[in-house]
């Protein structure tokens, strides 16, 4: 059919709009010569019905706090989301959170799918593109994030809603494929959501029987519906993804279900409409090819030679559907908000601050200061005291742990437990589900809570994929990693982190802080809270370490510079520089004294954060590590990897080269060389003594 003939005969139907989503996706993938056309072709009706008829979302204000959230966990289907954002006319929002007149995804960006500096990255990235609620691509993560959004939604409702003033009741929808549901993180998250009875959560499972390698049956045969029933979900099924009425019934079922999340299993066809590729993995991962595109368009009764065609009336149809519905819902909410702000100015102010990722006045008041103490305390202990003080000042600081709250010292005293049906508490019990905890905390941060969560540092590897995405998404999540070294002792090498510090330091856009005494912990927590666009990992000890006498040593505020001279050599002219982090700073201080007795002048540098130190200017760096001072020893109970950066070619690195061992701490220290004698010997070696 020619474009003209097509234009003259069309009336705007749901089908026409669905096919517009499909063909825009196909054309963008074809033009980019890269991407996944098949999933958007199969899922277009599912997303159309949801957005056009159910999603409570105002395209003119995509940051409205009570909007329904839509998560495309199957991030490879990114064009499905971009086409939808474009056609529904979602506005762009700038970095300050101001809604602009321009579109989040204008047509030029659809045409520039997967190109440099565009808004339509290969997989959806929330910090790049308005309307993308969370970054997806690594399968299962979006599903995990959606549980965090649902947790946050319930928390906001429990803490802020008032009789007759229901500010928060938004729903969270996530589209998941076979891959998402095969991933462990989604299983953890689904288990948690079922347990917590999050009835504001709906997962739509694209049951298309295909994955990348071939038929899903090659690798996936469990009864998904029974599994989710077992998790405590309400499960329903739509036998045909093209049946809008049945899809609508699925969404209605979700909206009517209380006390449990809903899974809608939708049987669909990947590459729907493609004569040769439908229901095959070939509709996946690569463009259809020009010839197949024509055949598909023929099947859709679409002008075969058209590209990026949006038929007359399609934009209007979306405007009259989601546009009108969303604008009305938003306007009602704005009125509600006005009444709320008048009656509850204090809470309204809190919500405004949260939206800006700002902190309340006095957020750092009444923080503990720790007196000098040779025996001192574990940094996890001082962390527990600090975060409890902070939590009193910041009502939306929400804590939790993956079943180690007592060990991580993350419990917020008197702040209540977050439990099924009882959602006001600020202690979330993620259970032994580190990965889901990480993904959920990202979803909570996207919903503007300030979440922190704890586990043992060694299990940082169990949450790492979520940490990495939080860093990419620029989310200020705080990870409390305790038991940070072989210093944890008897639990042995299965629990002793070695390479975790190096791996986090290698990750872009995350602040890693390993404070060296109780007062450095207070500073570290302050820095973590001041971050608005990056996560923080607090790396804390199980074992006690001395609290330094700050009347003799430099103030702990030096933590803000990443590294600082804690205790200098006489006259500021060191023979040797001893560099430590965390529990090893004390060791350096003890070695400094010993060296002094032998007339060797040592400087001790505490370097809790490589990232912050690297951000300092050259003059400051030179003042801490003068280039002329080449005799340097680093001491850290972790992998030696990377320390050459600070020790230089003439320095010595005292660290770990094996997995550790199971034994009492004092024996481990001796075996692995974390003794004053060994530091002293290394210092002398660097001086050729």
Ligand X SMILES: Cc1ncc(C[n+]2csc(CCOP(=O)(O)OP(=O)(O)O)c2C)c(N)n1
* Residues carrying an active site annotation: 434
As measured in angstroms, the least distance from the Cβ of 184 to Mg ion is 17
Contacts with ligand X by CB under 6 A: the residue count is: 17
Q: Which of 61, 83, 208, 401 binds ligand X (CB under 6 A)?
A: 208
As measured in angstroms, the least distance from the Cβ of 114 to ligand X is 15
| Interactions with ligand X, residue window 106-165 (CB under 6 A) | 137-139
E-strand ranges in 562-671 read: 564-567, 576-580, 602-606, 632-639, 652-656
Q: Which of 107, 212, 255, 432 binds ligand X (CB under 6 A)?
A: 212
Query: Which one of Mg ion, ligand X, none interacts with residue 580, CB within 5 to 8 A by kind?
Result: none
| Interactions with ligand X, residue window 173-202 (CB under 6 A) | 177-180
Residue 210 found at the interface with Mg ion (CB under 5 A): yes
As measured in angstroms, the least distance from the Cβ of 213 to ligand X is 8
Residue 517 found at the interface with ligand X (CB under 6 A): no
| Interactions with ligand X, residue window 259-278 (CB under 6 A) | 270
User: Which residue's Cβ lies closest to ligand X?
Assistant: 177
As measured in angstroms, the least distance from the Cβ of 431 to ligand X is 22
Query: Which one of ligand X, Mg ion, none interacts with residue 39, CB within 5 to 8 A by kind?
Result: ligand X
**Nearer of residues 178 and 575 to ligand X, judged by Cβ:** 178
Interaction mask 297-336, ligand X, x per CB under 6 A: ----------------------------------------
Question: Any residues with CB less than 8 A from the CB of 453 and at least 6 apart, and which?
Answer: 399, 400, 401, 402, 410, 428, 430, 437, 438, 441, 477, 478, 479, 480
Report how far residue 253's alpha carbon sits from residue 235's, in angstroms, rounded to the nearest whole number.
Answer: 9
Report how far residue 442's alpha carbon sits from residue 452's, in angstroms, rounded to the nearest whole number.
Answer: 10
Q: Are 241 and 42 in contact (CB under 8 A)?
A: yes
As measured in angstroms, the least distance from the Cβ of 466 to ligand X is 12
Torsion angles phi and psi, residue 314, rounded to 5: -70, -45
Q: Which of 24, 39, 198, 470 binds ligand X (CB under 6 A)?
A: 39
SS3 534: coil
**H or E, element range at 92:** strand 91-93
**Nearer of residues 208 and 234 to Mg ion, judged by Cβ:** 208
Report how far residue 48's alpha carbon sits from residue 55's, in angstroms, rounded to the nearest whole number.
Answer: 10
Report how far residue 92's alpha carbon sits from residue 100's, in angstroms, rounded to the nearest whole number.
Answer: 5
Q: Are 437 and 507 in contact (CB under 8 A)?
A: no
Q: Are 418 and 441 in contact (CB under 8 A)?
A: no
Query: Which one of Mg ion, ligand X, none interacts with residue 434, CB within 5 to 8 A by kind?
Result: none
Question: Any residues with CB less than 8 A from the CB of 496 and at least 6 apart, and which?
Answer: 458, 485, 486, 488, 659, 660
Interaction mask 80-119, Mg ion, x per CB under 5 A: ----------------------------------------
**Nearer of residues 208 and 382 to ligand X, judged by Cβ:** 208
Q: Which of 59, 131, 137, 177 binds Mg ion (CB under 5 A)?
A: 177
As measured in angstroms, the least distance from the Cβ of 77 to ligand X is 6
**Hunting for tokens 């953890």 — which residue is that?**
188
Length of the chain: 689
Helices marked H in 50-166: 78-87, 107-111, 141-160
Binding site for ligand X (CB under 6 A): 39, 74, 76, 137-139, 177-180, 206, 208, 210-212, 270, 284
């Amino acid at each position: 059919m020619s474009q003209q003939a097509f234009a003259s005969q069309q009336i705007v139907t749901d089908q026409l709009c669905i096919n517009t989503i499909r063909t825009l996706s196909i054309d963008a993938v074809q033009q980019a010569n890269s991407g996944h056309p098949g999933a958007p072709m199969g899922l277009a009706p599912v997303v159309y019905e949801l957005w056009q008829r159910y999603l409570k979302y105002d395209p003119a204000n995509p940051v409205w706090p009570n909007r329904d959230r839509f998560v495309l966990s199957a991030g490879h289907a990114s064009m499905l989301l971009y086409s939808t954002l474009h056609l529904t006319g979602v506005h762009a929002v700038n970095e300050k959170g101001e809604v602009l007149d321009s579109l989040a995804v204008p047509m030029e960006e659809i045409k520039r799918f997967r190109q440099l500096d565009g808004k339509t990255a290969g997989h959806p990235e929330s910090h790049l593109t308005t309307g993308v609620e969370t970054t997806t691509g690594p399968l299962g993560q979006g599903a995990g994030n959606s549980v965090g959004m649902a947790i946050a939604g319930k928390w906001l409702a429990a803490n802020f809603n008032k009789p007759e003033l229901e500010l928060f009741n938004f729903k969270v929808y996530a589209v998941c494929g076979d891959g998402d549901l095969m991933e462990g993180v989604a299983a953890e998250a689904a288990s948690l959501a079922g347990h917590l009875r999050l009835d504001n959560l709906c997962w739509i499972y694209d049951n298309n029987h295909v994955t990348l390698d071939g038929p899903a049956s090659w690798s996936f045969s469990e009864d998904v519906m029974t599994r989710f029933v077992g998790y405590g979900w309400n499960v329903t099924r739509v036998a045909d993804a093209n049946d809008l009425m049945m899809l609508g019934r699925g969404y209605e079922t979700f909206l009517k279900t209380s006390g449990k999340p809903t899974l809608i299993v939708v049987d669909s066809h990947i590459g729907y409409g493609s004569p040769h590729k439908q229901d095959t993995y070939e509709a996946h991962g690569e463009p259809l090819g020009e010839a197949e595109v024509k055949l598909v368009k023929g099947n859709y009764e679409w002008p075969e030679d058209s590209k990026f065609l949006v038929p007359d009336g399609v934009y209007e149809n979306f405007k009259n559907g989601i546009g009108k519905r969303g604008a009305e819902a938003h306007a009602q909410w704005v009125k509600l908000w006005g009444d709320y702000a008048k009656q509850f100015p204090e809470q309204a102010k809190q919500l405004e601050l949260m939206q800006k990722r700002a902190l309340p006045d006095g957020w750092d008041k009444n923080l503990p200061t720790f007196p000098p103490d040779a025996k001192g305390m574990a940094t996890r202990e001082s962390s527990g005291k600090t975060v409890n003080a902070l939590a009193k000042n910041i009502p939306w600081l929400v804590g939790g742990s993956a079943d180690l709250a007592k060990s991580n010292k993350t419990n917020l005293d008197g702040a209540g437990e977050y439990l099924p049906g009882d959602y006001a508490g600020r202690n979330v019990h993620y259970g032994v589900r580190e990965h889901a905890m990480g993904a959920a905390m990202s979803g909570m941060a996207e919903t503007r809570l300030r979440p922190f969560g704890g586990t043992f540092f060694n299990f940082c590897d169990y949450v790492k994929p979520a940490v990495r995405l939080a860093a990419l998404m620029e989310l200020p999540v705080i990870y409390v990693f305790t038991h940070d070294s072989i210093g944890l002792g008897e639990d042995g090498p299965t629990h002793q982190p070695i390479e975790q510090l190096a791996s986090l330091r290698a990750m872009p856009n995350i602040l890693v802080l390993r404070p060296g005494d109780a007062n450095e912990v207070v500073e570290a927590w302050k820095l973590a809270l001041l971050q608005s666009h990056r996560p923080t990992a607090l790396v804390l000890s199980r074992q006690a370490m001395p609290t330094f006498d700050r009347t003799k040593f430099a103030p702990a505020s030096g933590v803000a510079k990443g590294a600082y001279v804690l205790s200098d050599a006489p006259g500021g002219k060191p023979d040797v520089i001893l560099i430590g982090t965390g529990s090893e700073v004390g060791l350096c201080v003890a070695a400094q004294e010993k060296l002094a007795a032998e007339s060797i002048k040592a400087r001790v540098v505490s370097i809790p954060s490589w990232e912050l130190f690297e951000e300092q200017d050259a003059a400051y760096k030179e003042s801490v590590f003068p280039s002329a001072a080449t005799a340097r020893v680093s001491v850290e109970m972790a992998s030696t990897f990377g320390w050459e950066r600070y020790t230089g070619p003439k320095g010595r690195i005292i660290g770990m080269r094996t997995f550790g061992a199971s034994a009492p701490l004092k024996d481990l220290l001796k075996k692995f060389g974390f003794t004053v004698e060994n530091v002293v010997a290394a210092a002398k070696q660097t001086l050729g003594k």
